[in-house]
């Protein structure tokens, strides 16, 4: 089986059921990844774990070194990546604690290093990004969720916003008009960089809150944290079920 990596997001800086074997610091032409790569065993499957925001959750979304993270994983032979990410729910059924496997992205981020083909020295490279996620891996995750009766949505358009602030209610109205169902700050350029490196990349989003103007009142950090604890428990079950099949 090919090497698989899990990139953990907010609320998932470690995996409880991962038996850690060793940690590896990797240098890349793009600088340092968010932390050492953690090699371990999850349900009899060798996996590599990386905390996107650092193990102490100190790196905000707009400062994550996405290029170093993906490059480091590719350089050690990873072929598949499962990205875990907290999101706000825009569509009414995408309520806090629910898992979502997005199938589309709209990118609203700016000023991030978003390509490995920066200077044109490899020719001008336009990757195909019609379907931004690896559908085989998405389907495997959707099926694993169904087998363990996890309430998950199998189709959603992810809006990647710049952050680190949350959105205004009007911005969420606009994202909804654009066709977005969930909103998060880390989905891009991560997915595009993974495609440039020909990694099979799929995301499991965890709804942490209703997006701005969709719930009642302000969005609080306490609410986000509580929902993420619930949601990340589900992610743990999902990964344990999915590992033998991915
Ligand atoms: N907006 C953007 N990113 C997020 C949100 C949100 O409401 N919740 C968790 N990550």
- Whole-number pLDDT of residue 2: 64
25: CATH: 3.40.50.1580
Q: Which residues pair with 48 in a beta bridge?
A: 5, 39
Q: How far apart are alpha carbons 154 and 151 in whole angstroms?
A: 10
Instruction: Identify whether the C-beta of residue 96 lies closer than 8 Å to the C-beta of residue 207.
Output: yes
- Of 214, 146, 227, 220, give the one whose Cα is nearest residue 181: 214
Q: Which residues form ligand 1's pocket by a CB distance below 6 Å? A: 86-88, 161, 166-167, 183-185, 208-209, 211
Q: How far apart are alpha carbons 191 and 125 in whole angstroms?
A: 16
b/e per residue 82-117 (b: at least 16 CB within 10 A): bbbbbbbbbbeebbbbbbbbbbbbbbbbeebebebe
- Whole-number pLDDT of residue 205: 97
Instruction: Identify whether the C-beta of residue 141 lies closer than 8 Å to the C-beta of residue 82.
Output: yes
Q: Residue 144: helix, strand or coil by DSSP?
A: helix
pLDDT tens digits, 129-186 = 999 999 999 999 999 999 999 999 999 999 999 999 999 999 999 999 999 999 999 9
**Tokens 């690896």 -> residue:** 134
Q: How far apart are alpha carbons 75 and 78 in whole angstroms?
A: 7
Q: How far apart are alpha carbons 242 and 136 in whole angstroms?
A: 13
Nearest atom (ligand 1) to Cα of 61: 3
Q: Residue 30: helix, strand or coil by DSSP?
A: coil
Q: How far apart are alpha carbons 162 and 139 in whole angstroms?
A: 28
pLDDT band at 16 (very low <50, low <70, confident <90, very high): confident
pLDDT band at 122 (very low <50, low <70, confident <90, very high): confident
How many domains does the structure of the chain reveal?
Answer: 1
Question: Between these two residues, 189 and 19, which has the higher pLDDT value?
Answer: 189
Q: Give the distance (Å) from ligand 1 centre to CA of residue 201.
A: 21
Q: For the chain, what is the mean pLDDT?
A: 94
Q: Residue 44: helix, strand or coil by DSSP?
A: coil
Q: Residue 46: helix, strand or coil by DSSP?
A: strand
Nearest atom (ligand 1) to Cα of 210: 7
Give the residue, by CA position, lying nearest to ligand 1 atom 7.
Answer: 88
Q: Give the distance (Å) from ligand 1 centre to CA of residue 244.
A: 31
Q: Give the distance (Å) from ligand 1 centre to CA of residue 236.
A: 21
- Whole-number pLDDT of residue 1: 57
Q: Give the distance (Å) from ligand 1 centre to CA of residue 219.
A: 9
- Containing structural domain, residue 176: 4-242
């Amino acid at each position: 089986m090919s090497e698989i990596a899990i990139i953990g997001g907010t609320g998932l800086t470690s995996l409880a059921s991962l038996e850690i074997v060793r940690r590896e610091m990797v240098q890349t032409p793009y600088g340092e990844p968010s932390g050492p790569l953690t090699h371990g065993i999850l349900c009899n499957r060798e996996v590599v774990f990386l905390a996107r925001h650092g193990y102490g959750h100190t790196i905000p979304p707009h400062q994550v070194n996405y290029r170093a993270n993906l490059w480091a994983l590719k350089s050690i032979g990873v072929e598949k990546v499962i990205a875990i990410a907290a999101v706000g729910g825009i569509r009414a059924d995408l309520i806090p604690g629910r898992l979502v496997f997005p199938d589309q992205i709209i990118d609203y981020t700016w000023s991030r290093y978003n390509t490995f083909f920066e200077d044109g020295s490899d020719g001008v490279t336009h990757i195909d990004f019609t379907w931004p996620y690896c559908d085989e891996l998405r389907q495997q995750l959707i099926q694993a969720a169904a087998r363990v009766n996890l309430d998950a949505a199998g189709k959603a358009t992810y809006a990647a916003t710049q952050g680190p602030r949350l959105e205004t209610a009007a911005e969420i109205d606009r994202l909804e008009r654009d066709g977005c169902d969930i909103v998060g700050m880390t989905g891009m350029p991560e997915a595009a960089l993974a495609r440039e490196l020909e990694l099979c990349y799929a995301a499991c989003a965890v709804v942490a809150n209703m997006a701005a103007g969709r719930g009642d009142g302000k969005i609080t950090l306490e609410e986000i944290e509580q929902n993420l604890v619930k949601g990340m428990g589900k992610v743990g079950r999902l990964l344990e079920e999915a590992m033998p099949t991915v």
